[in-house]
């Protein structure tokens, strides 16, 4: 197994290395890849030192798998070049997610659709992954009609530059800005760029990606995505209207029994999901489950997960593990 990590010096890349080591992913040769700026920089993996290389050198090495987290434009340009030399690319950017010929995978839900021919596989958006992990089992039983989601997203979701902006502001230092406004002591109803319809790209990812992952266009999702000054972990307030009736106890049991989901729902003891406790965990945490008393067959819930783990690195590595286990590379 020759494995390339493209974007190894970034926030997602670094967590990928951590998750690869933790899960003991089988690697014979590791290539750490980043931009020209980082070529020659030293990084360690499992106690061994590696020098960061550039994309040209990485393609020439023809890795079996390349895990990409280096932004959309890098993926658009370079993923096909890797695919051409026989590498299977698993991409974390938004470049290929809605491409009709590329699959969008959350392993617990739809890894079974992968084949040997899939040379560029898309990892969904971080806020989408945690949403569909909780909604998939409920949709199967009760059939979703409409979902209203509001997100409370951490600065690590934007990358290193945003984390630096918040740390500078907390320390009272003037520095480079990742956002158009301060984020410390603030909330920005603006994640990613605005589209023509007045929604942000992040909001439209939440609206579109779950339909593709669940292979069902009969339900609709509307979203408001907000950046808040937390360093890691995204939270979501989710209102789901189903076609069928449900019992709250059944919803709780179903989520409790769903692999990858942890139920944290006991208001008597103040048990509910929070981003600081989701930090460095792979699970999606769900709580505050309650009936929407203003509308039939509708439930409210609160979903939290570490955006750099299940929202990015862990999901990517689970896809790689599935490919290896099913001899698809
Ligand atoms: N952060 C999250 O929660 C999250 C979740 C899901 C998906 N993603 C996606 O993952 C990607 C990376 O996000 P991040 O948060 O890790 O960003 P980041 O911290 O800013 O890191 C970006 C990485 O990409 C590399 N890179 C940038 N331009 C490059 C180029 N032209 N050629 C090669 N490498 C290049 C950087 O290398 P240098 O160090 O050399 O600049 C760095 O390793 C983005 O597409 C993002 O949308 C992020």
Among 126, 139, 184, 256, the active-site one is 126
Helix, strand, or coil (residue 177): coil
Q: Tens place of pLDDT for every residue, the chain, 329 residues?
A: 999 999 999 999 999 999 999 999 999 999 999 999 999 999 999 999 999 999 999 999 999 999 999 999 999 999 999 999 999 999 999 999 999 999 999 999 999 999 999 999 999 999 999 999 999 999 999 999 999 999 999 999 999 999 999 999 999 999 999 999 999 999 999 999 999 999 999 999 999 999 999 999 999 999 999 999 999 999 999 999 999 999 999 999 999 999 999 999 999 999 999 999 999 999 999 999 999 999 999 999 999 999 999 999 999 999 999 999 999 99
- Nearest CA owner, ligand 1 atom 44: 71
Q: CA gyration radius for the chain?
A: 20
Alpha carbon of 69 to ligand 1 centroid (Å): 5
Q: Which two tokens stand for residue 262?
A: 């942890």
- Nearest CA owner, ligand 1 atom 26: 70
Any catalytic annotation for residue 234?
yes
Q: How many residues does the chain have?
A: 329
Question: pLDDT value at position 102?
Answer: 98
Element (H, E) at 4: strand 2-6
CA 117 to chain centre: 24
As a dihedral over the C-alpha atoms of residue 33, residue 34, residue 38, residue 41, rounded to 10 degrees, the angle is: -30
The angle, 0 to 180 degrees and rounded to 10, between the axes of the packed helices 201-213 and 126-142 is: 40
Q: How many CB atoms lie within 10 A of CB 147?
A: 21
Strand ranges of the sheet holding 2-6, from the earlier edge strand across to the other edge: 29-33, 2-6, 65-68, 88-91, 120-122, 103-104
Residues with CB under 6 A from ligand 1: 7-13, 34-35, 37-38, 55, 69-72, 74, 92-93, 126, 156-157, 159-160, 307-308, 311-312
**Look-up of token digits 């926030």:** 11
Closest CA to 106 of 323, 329, 324, 316: 316
pTM (2 decimals)? Answer: 0.97
User: What atom in ligand 1 is closest to the CA of residue 160?
Assistant: 19
Closest CA to 152 of 202, 201, 108: 202
Among 112, 184, 191, 234, the active-site one is 234
Alpha carbon of 12 to ligand 1 centroid (Å): 7
Any catalytic annotation for residue 191?
no
- Name the pairing type of β-strands 144-153 and 234-242: antiparallel
Question: pLDDT value at position 109?
Answer: 98
Q: Which two tokens stand for residue 156?
A: 């690590």
Residues in a beta bridge with 278 = none
Residues whose CB falls within 8 Å of the CB of residue 52, separated by 6 or more in sequence, listed in order: 8, 9, 32, 33, 34, 38, 39, 40, 41, 42, 43
């Amino acid at each position: 197994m020759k494995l390339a990590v493209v974007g190894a010096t970034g926030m997602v890349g670094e967590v990928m290395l951590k998750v690869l080591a933790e899960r003991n992913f089988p690697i014979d040769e590791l290539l750490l890849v980043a931009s020209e700026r980082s070529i020659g920089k030293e990084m360690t993996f499992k106690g061994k030192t590696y020098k960061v290389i550039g994309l040209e050198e990485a393609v020439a090495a023809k890795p079996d798998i390349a895990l990409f987290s280096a932004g959309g434009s890098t993926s658009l340009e370079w993923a096909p070049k890797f695919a051409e030399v026989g590498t299977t690319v698993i991409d974390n950017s938004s470049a290929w997610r809605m491409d009709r010929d590329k699959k969008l995978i959350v392993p617990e839900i739809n890894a079974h659709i992968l084949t040997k021919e899939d040379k560029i596989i898309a990892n969904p958006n971080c806020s989408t992954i945690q949403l569909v992990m909780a909604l998939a089992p409920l949709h199967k039983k009760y059939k979703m009609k409409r979902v209203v989601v509001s997100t409370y997203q951490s600065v690590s979701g934007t990358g290193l530059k945003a984390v630096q902006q918040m740390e500078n502001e907390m320390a009272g230092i003037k520095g480079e800005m990742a956002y158009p406004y301060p984020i410390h002591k603030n909330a920005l109803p603006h994640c990613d760029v605005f589209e023509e319809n007045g929604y942000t790209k992040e909001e439209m990812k939440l609206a579109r990606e779950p339909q593709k992952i669940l292979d069902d266009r009969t339900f609709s999702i509307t979203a408001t995505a907000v950046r808040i000054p937390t360093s890691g972990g995204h939270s979501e307030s989710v209102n789901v209207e189903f076609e069928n009736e449900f019992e709250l106890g059944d919803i709780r049991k179903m989520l409790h029994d769903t692999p990858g989901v942890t139920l944290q729902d006991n208001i008597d003891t103040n048990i509910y999901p929070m981003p600081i406790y989701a930090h460095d965990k792979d699970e999606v945490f769900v709580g505050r489950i309650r009936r929407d008393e203003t509308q039939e067959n509708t439930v409210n819930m609160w979903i939290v997960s570490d955006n750099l783990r299940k929202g990015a690195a862990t999901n990517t590595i689970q896809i790689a593990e599935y490919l290896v286990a099913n001899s698809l590379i």
